[in-house]
Chain A
Amino acid sequence: MDKFGFAISKGRQIDWEANNRKVADFIRENEPSFKLCIACGGCTATCTAGKFTEFSLRELNILIHRGENTKPMNDLKKCMLCGKCTLVCPRGVNTRNVVFSARKAFQIFGDDAF
């Protein structure tokens, strides 16, 4: 860095082969309706936490499925489990249990989740 005045940038591509999708597999096992999301964003639109924070369940679902777990792990704390998302989901995803399962997965896997 010092000699040249810059550092080589790191890529921000989602690298499918490099990523670890343990958390996604765990949730799919524990709450199969997790698979049914069509990313309509209904949950995010109605989300109580999303009103005050950047929390988006739709995004969280996508990122976990891709094995991009860092942001979801931090975001999960923001959910207040009010359950409004479950009411609006057109695919009947049990979103509360998705959040529970995700929290549980991060607890179980710890650093292995990444």
Chain B
Amino acid sequence: MGKHVVVIGGGTAGMEAAGQLAKEGFEVSLVEKEEETGGHIKDWYKLFPDRRNSSEIRDYLEKKVTSKSIRIMTGTYIEKFHSYRDGFSLFTQDGTELKADAVVVATGFDLFKSEKKEEYGYGIYDNVITSADLEAMFRKGKISMSDGMTPKTVGFVHCVGSRDEKAGNFYCSKLCCVTAVKQAIEVREHLPESKVFSFYMDMRMGGAYYEELYREAQEVWGINFIRGKVSEASESINNKIVIKVEDTLAGRPLKMELDMLVLMAGMEMSEGGNRIAALSGLKKGENRFFAPLDHHFANNLSNVKGVFFAGTCTAPMNITETISHARSAVSEVINYFNNTNS
């Protein structure tokens, strides 16, 4: 066939899509703004719910894009995006033109910037960290406070930047609950003496084996789950994080001192995605992610013919869903060429 498809974004969705496209015989350019492919998966330690090492997924994806028909362009981003009747012309920052017969947008998500939830004091109080910061600590194999000491009490705050009008996001990021459970278990694994608390509004364990992980967290690891959204954090004279929350099941306010507070940052449309949206005229939804033509049966199609969406640029998804979504994007690309050829 020899058709050329540009895939924008070299994370899970982009790599999976590129690999599948190559398998189907397309010429593929995989454009990634970072110096390395892999996206967020590079930053994770172990994956939920089975807690396999994230490097296994990364290895799988790396193998997927070894085909000769995939040209990987890291450190590259798109500066111009022109649509023509019979294809697209994209220009990278150094003026290189990429002519494409179709484009797959796989620009992924950004983590919510937790400093925007001012009341939690991220970036102000030393031992308020994000789920991503904790993941980095796991990868280093050492969980420590700013003074190098080991925390004895750790709290997790769910829904940071999700389900929150004040943060500008009405939606649920869907994966933070299970991530919090996973990380809570891992804290207990690393620090068996520690006490771990999880402050949630609803435990949204809607994936295969998620609820089981939650149960394990209670049964095996003794994680304390307290139903209430943390209202504020502050710092005591002893450098402890003082939190205020309502224990809604007891119907009373609760005050607690913690050594470390972990903010479960939600998922947002990525900056890269926003840039592409501005260049290309691709539509965004009210949640600011890209808006597929139809959420039920055209979830990979966009308002621009020949441009397809793959992965979390359309909504929060886990890795399984991202990979499936990338594959279905490829099947839509195939349909597209079949229809335009005939």
Contacts and interface: CB of A to CB of B under 8 A. Distances in A.
- The reply to whether A and B meet directly (CB within 8 Å) is yes
Interface of A: 12-17, 28, 32, 35-36, 38-39, 58-59, 62-63, 65-66, 68, 91
B255 interface: yes
The 7 nearest A-B residue pairs measured at CB:
A16-B256, A14-B254, A13-B253, A62-B249, A39-B249, A62-B250, A35-B218
A36 B215 contact: yes
Interface of B is mostly: strand
Interface string B265-287: 00000000000000000000000
B162 to A, nearest CB: 21
Interface string B212-246: 00010011001011010000000000000000000
A12 B253 contact: yes
A105 B222 CA distance: 20
A80 B222 CA distance: 29
Nearest to B197: A16
A16 B218 contact: no
Contacts of B253: 12-14
B203 interface: yes
Size category of the B interface is: 10 to 19
B133 interface: no
A16 B257 contact: yes
A32 B247 contact: no
Interface of B: 203, 215, 218-219, 222, 224-225, 227, 247, 249-250, 252-257
Contact of A32 (B219, B224, B254, B256): B219
Contacts of B225: 38
A58 B218 contact: no
Contacts of A91: 215
A12 B252 contact: yes
A65 B252 contact: no
B219 A35 contact: yes
